[in-house]
């Protein structure tokens, strides 16, 4: 259903350059991404050409330094770009967020030489990245990961299995967290592994209820050798690097969630204003008007929450708790808004002829990825009340 009669989101942006950027993104999304989204998602098609296109438009390195090929944009602008992309197709919005996450280690913890060598291609759009932390037995408890990195001279041999890797099998590089030392978080190191490394293979993509165009796969590392020059940060610093990236990544997930919710609201409004029952548009009925009001309020609240956290990040202030709050609230809101959109469309909402059923399926995964919402609640509570007691 066309949204031509609906106004774009009224955004508060810090510069005229940012306003022009969002206008460009909105035009690109509605011209190149949205028209093929339903068909390609249903067929499980990964939109690699779209990522090349948005890379050429400078959208794969927005929050990173201009001297290395990034866009030099504040996070509050980058996140609103993600929201627009996710509203058009979550596979694309989330894919840009994951790529940004994969670049974080080199951009913030890499040496000058590593940034100079790797970042221009990573940020310039010619490469697509993946972030490899989770494992089959190490999801929420990521510090218990078992993938092993063994040093031999000036190189490392990495062996193990990573799980739930977005872009698994199609990425050009992987930021891999592996155990190089003792048990626990202090024994983990980060590595930049090329996508074509010998011994690196991906399993068949998982069969998911949503985001079928975004490959999620196990990654097998069987004697993968990387030179020490591809170790990012100090030995044993990997878990710190991983957590720093996840704080920012959670804001990306929050923005994507609001994008999906906004798309669902737009669809529900467009339907409600044209669908006639009892001689008038269904949007005239108070019960549905109240539902739409609640949907819009959740979206505005979520957008304000993720932007407030982004502005803390841009100011160099702590934002971990606010990132967890934003991820928690925005993804829960997206689940509720998309469910309500299906309800508002009635029987049509349950069919694939309208996109709201896809939005609902896609919103579900956002409550799970990059730390389940139960983990977010633990992070928030711990920041307020301190660590949990070890006594049982």
Annotated catalytic residues are: 370
Question: Which 3 state secondary structure label does DSSP give 65?
Answer: coil
Q: How far apart are CA 149 and CA 190, in angstroms?
A: 10
SS3 per residue for 136-166: CCECCCHHHCCCEEEEECCEEEEEEEEEEEE
Q: How far apart are CA 158 and CA 199, in angstroms?
A: 9
Q: How far apart are CA 38 and CA 88, in angstroms?
A: 10
Q: How far apart are CA 77 and CA 310, in angstroms?
A: 9
**Rg of the chain in Å (alpha carbons):** 21
Q: How far apart are CA 194 and CA 191, in angstroms?
A: 10
β-strands 173-179, 129-132 pairing: parallel
In the block, residue with structure tokens 């990195």 = 149
Decide: 251 and 101 in contact? Cβ < 8 Å: no
Q: How far apart are CA 105 and CA 147, in angstroms?
A: 18
DSSP 235-273: TT-HHHHHHHHHHHHHHHHHHHHHHHHHHHHHHHHHHHH
Q: Encoding tokens for residue 29?
A: 């999304």
Decide: 18 and 62 in contact? Cβ < 8 Å: no
């Amino acid at each position: 259903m066309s949204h031509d009669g609906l106004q774009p989101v009224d955004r508060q942006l810090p510069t005229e350059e940012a306003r022009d950027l969002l206008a460009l993104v909105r035009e690109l999304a509605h011209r190149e991404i949205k028209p093929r989204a339903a068909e390609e998602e249903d067929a499980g098609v990964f939109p690699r050409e779209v990522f090349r296109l948005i890379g050429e438009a400078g959208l794969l390195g927005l929050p990173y330094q201009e001297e290395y090929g990034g866009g030099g944009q504040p996070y509050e602008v980058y996140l609103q770009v993600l929201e627009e992309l996710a509203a058009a197709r979550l596979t694309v919005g989330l894919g840009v967020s994951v790529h940004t996450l994969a670049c974080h280690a080199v951009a913030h913890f890499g040496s000058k030489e590593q940034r100079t060598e790797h970042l221009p291609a990573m940020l310039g759009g010619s490469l697509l990245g993946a972030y490899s932390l989770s494992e089959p037995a190490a999801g929420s408890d990521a510090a218990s990961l078992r993938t092993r990195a063994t040093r031999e001279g000036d190189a490392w041999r990495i062996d193990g299995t990573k799980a739930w890797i977005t872009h698994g099998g199609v990425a050009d590089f992987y930021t891999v967290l592996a155990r190089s030392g003792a048990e626990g978080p202090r024994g983990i190191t980060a590595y930049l592994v090329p996508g074509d490394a010998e011994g690196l293979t991906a399993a068949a993509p998982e069969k998911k209820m949503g985001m079928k165009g975004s490959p999620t796969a196990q990654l097998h590392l069987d004697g993968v050798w990387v030179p020490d020059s591809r170790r990012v940060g100090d030995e044993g610093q990997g878990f710190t690097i991983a957590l720093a990236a996840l704080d920012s990544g959670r804001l990306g997930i929050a923005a994507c969630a609001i994008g999906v919710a906004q798309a669902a609201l737009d669809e529900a409004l467009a339907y409600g204003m044209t669908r006639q029952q009892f001689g008038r548009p269904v949007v005239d009925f108070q019960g549905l008007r109240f539902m739409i009001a609640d949907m819009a309020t959740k979206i505005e609240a979520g957008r304000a929450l993720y932007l407030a956290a982004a502005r803390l990040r841009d100011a160099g202030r702590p934002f971990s708790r606010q990132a967890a709050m934003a991820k928690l609230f925005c993804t829960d809101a997206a689940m509720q808004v998309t469910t309500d959109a299906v309800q508002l469309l009635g029987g049509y909402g349950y069919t694939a002829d309208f996109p709201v059923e896809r939005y609902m399926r896609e919103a579900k995964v956002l409550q799970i990825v990059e730390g389940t919402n139960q983990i977010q609640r633990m992070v928030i509570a711990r920041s307020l009340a301190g660590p949990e007691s070890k006594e049982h």
